[in-house]
Structure 1
Amino acid sequence: MVSSAITPTRTIAILIGVAVIAVAGFAVVRSGVFEPETIQGAIPGPGSSSPSVSASRSPSASPSPTPTAAPEPTTPAQIKAKNIADAKARLVEYYETTAAVANNGYQDWDSELRPFWGHPALRASLRGVYSESAETGDYTTGAASVETMSVTDYRTSDVGNEEVHLNACVDFGDVRTFAEDGEEIPRAAGAPKRYQFDYVMRHQGPESYWTVNEQTPHPEQAC
């Protein structure tokens, strides 16, 4: 599940003139606010709605140029931009994997989603509802979509533990929940379908990857 393509670029202290000490503690999900049922959908992957391309080619068509690898970022601005892009991509992957798990009746939810959680509190907050759903055979269809993602904070580190704080507007309108017998489980009365989340994405150090370290839904904040 973990791809080397999402390994972030560390901030080079000599380029920015100062080394920032990594925050010692992990950010955790805020108790009393988190609602597990709000993340049952998934964000469609990049290009999932693009038309398919035919494999056939006209004999007279010119061959496509060989793509060249993007240069490694070197300036502080380039490094920051790459880390932000990687953190956002990891959040998208988290939603995609969550949907795959939910659409499959929550089977193997722990092994599939554990690599995305940067703190045990996230797993603990989801364990009850995911385990119960796996036992009863509940499942979902559809996918949530992230309408916007904006950066609210960016924290550098001299040991590779950069943090990207994101505010995301997520639409769950297409997600439906069903019991094992196929009967639809209605959404709770008054539950919003589209609202904001705050995320803290943190990198876990050299040769590692980005994780979700804090997830705070704001159902009272429509978007």
Structure 2
Amino acid sequence: MVSSAITPTRTIAILIGVAVIAVAGFAVVRSGVFEPETVQGAIPGPGSSSPSVSASRSPSASPSPTLTAAPEPTTPAQIKAKNIADAKARLVEYYETTASVANNGYKDWEVELPPFWGHPDFHTAMRPVFDQYADEGRYTVGVAHVESMKVTSYAPSSVQTEEVGLEACVDFGDVETFERDGTVIARDRGVPTRYLFQYLMRNQGATGEWTVYREIPESERAC
């Protein structure tokens, strides 16, 4: 993980939950949101592609069984399990969307990313970063990999504002950042590529949508 010897102006960056590790260094966390100088984060989810299904079928084969919707959870244990699964899936979706935005030169970030942000400070922190990157033509190639996610907390609520704490290990080793002319923005020698983050996912109530409410880097812990 991140060595304590790495200076605050020279480390690797990430965006996501919410927010970012900077090439220029870990930014200050305020209200659960990074305030980075730069962003290097193409963040996909872990292997999310589904196995292909052959369209061909023997004439004598039996018809596929009719699929029925899974029953809605009713017990506290079932509801908790569903909320945790939904929060994890939303975090993965955010990683995937962020990767797409970064790989596309940060175009349309204001359309693609704000729906994932549960705290108003995210937009304030991200706007100057993404606007600058889009103006400069900076982009990323490659994807990061979520190596693991562990539930650290769960807070149910009767008003649909459940919260799920997640600890995620993310590997950015396959991600490269480029200037508009294709020049690689190299990482410093010795800078690690695997980072551990604490996330707080919150259900936004009326919409039923999970959002990334807080992201905190655990820069002194290996993953």
TM class, shorter-chain normalised?
A: 0.7 to 0.9
Distance in 1, matches of 2:194 and 2:133, equals 23
Cα distance change of structure 1 residues 108 and 216 upon mapping to structure 2, 3 Å threshold: same
Distance 1:38 1:198 in 2: 18
User: Contact conserved, 2:44 with 2:97, CA < 8 A, in 1?
Assistant: yes
Does the CA-based 8 Å contact 1:45-1:96 persist in structure 2?
Answer: no
The 5 Å alignment of 1:7-156 reads 28-29=31-32, 37=39, 39-44=41-46, 46-47=48-49, 50=51, 52-156=52-156
If the length of structure 2 is used for normalisation, what is the TM-score?
A: 0.80
| Cα separation, 2, equivalents of 1:199 and 1:36 | 20
Q: 3-state DSSP class of the match of 2:106?
A: coil
Question: Residues of 2 paired with 1:159 and 1:192: CA distance?
Answer: 41
Alignment of 1:148-187 (within 5 A): 148-187=148-187
Q: Read off the aligned partner of 1:47 and give its amino acid letter.
A: S
CA contact 1:29–1:213 (8 Å) conserved in 2: yes
Residues 106, 139 of structure 1: 8 Å contact kept: yes
Q: How far has the Cα of 1:81 moved from its partner?
A: 0.4
Q: Unaligned 5+ residue runs, structure 2?
A: 1-29
Instruction: State the TM-score, normalized to the length of structure 1.
Output: 0.80
| Structure 2 SS opposite 1:57 | coil
What runs of 5+ residues in structure 1 fail to find an aligned partner? 1-26
Shift of 1:71: 0.8
Number of residue pairs aligned between Structure 1 and Structure 2: 194
Q: Partners of 1:120 and 1:131 in 2: how far apart?
A: 17
Q: Which residue of structure 2 lines up, in the alignment, with residue 219 of structure 1?
A: 219
* 1:179-201, Cα deviation, whole Å (9 max, x unpaired): 11112111234332112100000
* Contact 2:40-2:140 at 8 Å conserved across structures: no
How far apart, CA to CA, are the structure 2 residues paired with 1:184 and 1:121? 31
Alignment partners' CA distance in 1, 2:141 and 2:219: 21
Q: Percent of aligned positions with the same letter in both sequences?
A: 61
Residue 201 of structure 1 is matched in structure 2 by: 201
